[in-house]
Amino acid sequence: MGKAIITCLLGTLLEAGLPITQALDSLAQATEIAQYKKLYLHLRGAVADGNSFQKSFMLFKNINRLIPAPMQQLIVAGEQSGGLPTTLLKIGQLFEAKADLTTKNLTVILEPILLLIVWLGVVAVALAVILPIYSLIGNFKTN
């Protein structure tokens, strides 16, 4: 979900006309995650030095952990075509759709598990009530 928010924010800032360095700086100030903050500051510095996103990505260690390779390729293609804001917004929409689908699938998976837990609780309560009754009846037969 974080990647969706990041791409949407950066795309929106760029679409509003904010220069890329200021947009990346704003993004770095807004994020709470230290790794992403470090990435944004690196990107801001690299872009300010005149590097492309492709070269900036290659210079950052462990970039694939933060930004998947296909997403990097889309960003580079968007930069080269001049449609970076639009590309970032579309990436954000794709990640949001993926997160929504995952959330829906999670509820489908959790429903049977929760039903099983409730069933086990009902069985435990039933046994807790019935077993003492059987032991009480068994005591009457032996006396």
Spell out the domain ranges in the chain: 2-103
CATH architecture of the domain covering 2-103: Up-down Bundle (1.20)
Reported for 2-6, long-range contacts at CB under 8 A and 24+ positions apart, including other chains, are 2/33, 2/36, 3/67, 3/71, 3/91, 3/92, 3/95, 4/91, 4/92, 4/93, 4/94, 4/95, 4/96, 4/99, 5/92, 6/31, 6/36, 6/92
Q: What is the pLDDT along the chain (143 residues), one digit of tens a residue?
A: 456 677 888 888 889 998 999 999 998 888 888 888 898 999 999 999 998 989 999 989 888 888 888 888 988 999 999 898 999 899 888 888 888 898 889 988 999 999 999 999 999 999 999 988 888 887 776 55
Give the global pTM. 0.67
